[in-house]
Amino acid sequence: MGVGGRRLRATGKCIFLMSISEICIFKEYWIDTRFQIKKPVRNGSSVMMVGDNVYHRDTATGDWIQEDSHHSNQDGSTNMTNFQRDTKTDNVLVSNHFFYFGSAAPPVDLESISYKNGMGYSKKALANTQVAALVKGIEEKNWRNKNIVIADPFDFENAIKRVDQGTSKIS
């Protein structure tokens, strides 16, 4: 479950809920035909601009490449803060069972699961029956919306802009 924060004015709201179907590495994510549509196209539509398939390695040198994207600097160069945060692990999480609420994110009772809203906080869902009950309630209430984008992301009107995950600033 991904919840919103203060900058989005979405504290305590469920942006997305997903069950991990597959874990692949960045190299697989980059070359797999299923995920080609996720590569950013900075002169494309708003949806094309915010693709998340932005990392891969140079085949000759093995060096990481951060494609020109909403994760990079204004001039298209690598934003080191985003790069270091995004590539801490080589794993990419893929889901075939998700709910993406975006800017239509519903409020969730985070206190019921002792969740502390904050960057980097995580809670092991399987270890907590209250978390399982919260997730089940969201799924049951929204079963018709499984595997679809219910609403555009927060700040979608800023798709052309860049984000710095270190400062949470959009420029």
Q: What is the pLDDT of residues 4-15, one digit of tens each?
A: 887 778 888 999
pLDDT tens digits along 36-53: 999 988 887 777 777 899
Per-residue pLDDT, averaged over 111-124, amounts to 67
Q: In this predicted structure, what is the pLDDT of residue 8?
A: 74
Q: Where are the domains of the chain?
A: 1-21+95-155, 23-93
Buried b (16+ CB within 10 A) or exposed e, 112-146: ebebeeeeeeeeeeeeeeebeebbeebeeebeeee
Q: Which of 90, 80, 94, 72 is nearest to 20 (CA)?
A: 94
Q: Which of 158, 47, 160 is nearest to 100 (CA)?
A: 47
